[in-house]
A and B are shown apart, each in its own frame.
Chain A
Amino acid sequence: MSFVVNLLAVVLMGFIVWWFWLSRPGVKQANASDVIEVVVENGVYTPAHIEVPQGRVVKLSFERRDPSPCAEKVVFSELDITVDLPVGEKTAVSTGPLAAGEYHFSCQMQMYRGSLVVR
């Protein structure tokens, strides 16, 4: 019994490391001309990870449904963009043309998290 419990705990730790750091969540593919709609609700951005082509302007539209103050801003730290998201509205955010790489966006407290994967 004790061995099984220990084994399960170690497996759980491995799972935590794998799930949150090593494995990649599903990425939504988007065309350059699309306005990508992102819903802000229940502690998550949906979709949270978006793949876009490089060298193009990225247009996002954040629809904040969560009135919690955690959701009130979206911060693209690498791009130095911070935008207020009024509750119940769609707020447009557009970036300049992006070079290949991963650009994170999050709430101010890093609880809502997402990324733009530019390829």
Chain B
Amino acid sequence: MTDKNIQLSIGSMSCAGCVASVERALRSVPGVEGAAVNFAEHTAGVSGNVTAQALIDAVVAAGYEAAELKGTDEEAEEKEAAEFAWYRSLLKKALVAGVIGAALFGMMLLGMMPSLEGGGRSFWAIVAVASLFVLIYSGGRFFTGAWKAFRGHNANMDTLIALGTGTAWAFSTVILIWPEIVPPQARHLYFEAAVIIIALINLGAALEMRARGKTSEAIRRLIGLQPKTARVVRDGKEIDVPIEQVGLNETLRVRPGEKIAVDGVIIEGHSNIDESMISGEPLPVEKNIGDEVVGGTLNKSGSFLFRATRIGADTALARIIEMVRQAQNSKPAIGRMVDKIAGVFVPVVLLIAVVTFLIWYNVGPEPKSAYVLLTTMTVLIIACPCALGLATPISIMVGVGKAAEYGVLIRHGEALQRAGQLTTVVLDKTGTVTEGRPTVTNLITSDGWDEAKLLSVAASIESGSEHPLAEAIVTAATTRGLALSRAEGFEAIAGHGVQARVDGRSVLFGNRRLMDDHSIELNALPDAAARLAANGETPMFLAVDGAAAGIVAVADPIKADSAAAIERLHKIGIRVVMLTGDNAATAAAVAKQVGIDEVIAEVLPADKSAKVAELQTGGEVVGMVGDGINDAPALARADVGFAIGTGTDVAIESADVTLMRGSLHGVADAIAISQATVRNIKQNLFGAFIYNSLGIPIAAGILFPLFGILLNPIVAGGAMAMSSLTVVTNANRLRLFKPEGAQA
């Protein structure tokens, strides 16, 4: 066992002299035993008991850049290799115990076992030694674990298994040596039971391990997105290197059909890139010089060069993987309660075993010693706290992974549990229900004006404005190739519009109130404006030299799938509310088109959180969906905050859930997956509780007085081995879950 070796990529090292100062910075971190910087490769290798983050902080403090060079791939492979080795060792132990146990059991069934009285003692002595070998080889870890736990005033699964099988072997050996201490009818030996129980428990653990492996399939799929090699340009030559060796700020070449290795910025060439695996955007996105590219996405057409800006654990993909991993590790309230029970479970079972012993000893039938041993041993063997402890985390693991498959990144288990309880979903309008990219949708002209002239003047005056709609108007004009003039004396009138002089003429551009304030005669335009607003478009009037010129209507297109997603929410009984700063008419029109139940319009961003709180006071469990920046307080206030993300902004701090695909379907998916996961957890818990609360009394012999039934300890061992496996298998069923109406 050695301490960790950490590889770092070091940026901004301009000369060989920097090597010493980086090494000095690294060596100053407590726990570092050795540090060596490779100037040619711009990397550093550090050994010691230290975290990568501490090293990175030290290097950054010394004025350089650093990132950990560890592929998530490498980690996953190490984990898989260790798990496989353990799986094989469990199978081998199960096999050895199984072969000896099956032989003994077979002989017993065939009546080939000699009796103790009939001169079979030598045979039984060999059996005792063989089973002792099995207990040591296949079951040794249970005894070591039980002893170590006992010394630490703790009791665990090992305690139960070791006591159960150990008692069986010890009692049988005592009978073998001194048969006269019990009556002849009680001289039953339990060597085969001890051996078979050990075989079954090892087999169960191996199968559980296999099943557990499947629960982390989602993470493996994400890790699989990352290519293993990258083509870097070093000294003018393009060479393929393992992805772990790509340094910060290095130049990389990507050819058509290749995956992009790390995050970066295009510095030469252009291409179309399929980012569906990260953003869910189905069509390839055109990228040019200066545009960002994301590691793990696929280059479809052109060849280009890019500069690596984020590598290793800092890439968007690595952060997604880390976020999913952390969420998989978190435990909701439902799990914490169970933990308390699991924590006292084993000592309670030990007490029950002693009570069982006392009852059978005092009021049980003859031969007492045989019954006492059988029931006490079976109680110890059947109890399974592992199934209880596993019930919640294993389902959370699969549920969070399943959500990630649908582009829904859940930050913690609590959010996963809570999402299924939502009664109201509050949606922000711009960028949530709509695309968030307003465009000019209609041009209505007055007499003497044409569309081009109208748009040209409107764009000229708006070119000086910072209003979000202004950009749409300027873009529309430049797309049509219209020439813009300079706006002079530009003035924005808050809540009304703008005024300026364009080509020497006085221009007003804004809402109806602006026109009324300047007594502009609008003729038939107000009717057209009302029609546009009813359609969800925002009408803006243009007046030149005191006369109405026309209307420029701008609308933020509704996302193609918003209505369908809201319909899905309605189907599961959720009320959908829209909370927006926009004017009431436009908001109502958008709401009507997508089937929203209630609109709260003209709300300032700062008041959104209060509106969410109001709904909560009314008894609603509220999910808030917004953009994660303007809506941050409302997202934090809501019971579950959903941030609409696009592509790389995966770790939106204020949100419990990030919807990577930018679609409202993600909300419905998250709710459906949450409900399925909580259902799965409840099934697991119910199964584990029922198993233990029925199994233990039956093992103690509660059915004996009425029906004469006693549980065979071998059956108890099998049941115990299967109980954890059943929980894991049930959790694995979640992998097949598909939310109704889901798009993926």
Q: Give A residues with C-beta under 8 Å from B.
A: 2, 5-6, 9, 12-13, 16-17, 19-21, 23-25, 35, 41-46, 48-49, 61, 63, 65, 67-70, 73, 75, 77, 80, 82-84, 86-90, 92, 106-114
Contacts and interface: CB of A to CB of B under 8 A. Distances in A.
Given A44-B152, A67-B86, A82-B330, 4 more contacts: A46-B152, A77-B339, A82-B326, A87-B79
Leading 4 A-B pairs by shortest Cβ distance: A43-B145, A109-B389, A82-B329, A111-B156
Interface stretch (B356-364, B544-552, B663-671, B715-723): B356-364
Contact of B82 (A63, A67, A75): A67
Contact of A69 (B83, B154, B157): B83
Contacts of B49: 35, 61, 90, 92
B3 A90 contact: yes
A25 B291 CA distance: 60
Given A6-B362, A80-B330, A108-B390, A42 B339 contact: no
A24 B153 contact: yes
Nearest to B386: A109
Contacts of B75: 86
Nearest to A104: B343
A84 B343 CA distance: 20
A16 B351 contact: yes
Contacts of A12: 354
B82 A111 contact: no
Contact of A43 (B79, B148, B325): B148
B31 interface: yes
Given A6-B358, A20-B154, A109-B386, A42 B325 contact: no
B31 A42 contact: no
A14 to B, nearest CB: 10
Interface in B148-187: 148-158
Interface string B47-61: 001110000000000
16 contacts: A5-B361, A6-B362, A16-B351, A17-B347, A41-B148, A42-B144, A43-B144, A43-B157, A44-B151, A69-B209, A70-B386, A90-B4, A106-B339, A109-B386, A110-B339, A110-B342
B117 interface: no
Nearest to B387: A109
A23 B153 contact: yes
Contacts of B30: 35
B466 interface: no
Given A67-B82, A69-B208, A110-B343, A25 B152 contact: yes
Interface in B595-646: none
Contacts of B146: 43
B385 A110 contact: yes
B710 interface: no
B83 A16 contact: no
Contact of B83 (A67, A77, A111): A67
A68 B153 contact: no
Contacts of A69: 83, 86, 208-209, 212
Contacts of A70: 157, 386
B354 A9 contact: yes
Given A110-B339, A111-B156, A20 B347 contact: yes
Contact of A44 (B31, B154, B336, B389): B154
User: Taking chain B's interface residues, is the majority helix, strand, or loop, or is none over half, making it mixed?
Assistant: helix
A25 B362 CA distance: 34
Nearest to A110: B342
Question: Which residue of A20, A21, A68 has the most chain B CB atoms within 10 A of its CB atom?
Answer: A20
Contacts of A67: 82-83, 85-86, 89
Contacts of B331: 75, 77, 82
A110 B389 contact: yes
Contacts of A41: 148
Interface in B343-383: 343-345, 347, 350-351, 354-355, 357-358, 361-362
B516 interface: no
Nearest to B212: A69
A36 to B, nearest CB: 11
A107 B212 CA distance: 15
A41 B331 CA distance: 24
Interface in B325-342: 325-326, 329-331, 336, 339, 342
Q: Which of A69, A109, A112: most chain B Cβ within 10 A?
A: A109
Contacts of B510: none
Contact of A108 (B79, B157, B389): B389
Contacts of A111: 156-158, 385-386, 389
Nearest to B153: A25
B86 A42 contact: no
Nearest to A61: B49
Contact of B390 (A75, A77, A109): A109
B1 interface: yes
Nearest to A89: B4
B394 to A, nearest CB: 8
B101 to A, nearest CB: 22
Contacts of B208: 69
B247 interface: no
B688 to A, nearest CB: 11
B329 A73 contact: yes
Contact of B149 (A17, A43, A82, A88): A43
B347 A112 contact: no
Nearest to B162: A43
Contacts of B389: 107-111
Contacts of A13: 351, 354-355
Nearest to A108: B393
A75 B329 CA distance: 9
Interface string B68-104: 0000000100110011011001000000000000000
Contacts of A9: 354, 357-358, 361
Nearest to B31: A35
Contacts of B351: 13, 16-17
Nearest to A83: B329
A16 B354 contact: yes
A6 B358 CA distance: 7
Nearest to A88: B1
B714 interface: no
A49 to B, nearest CB: 8
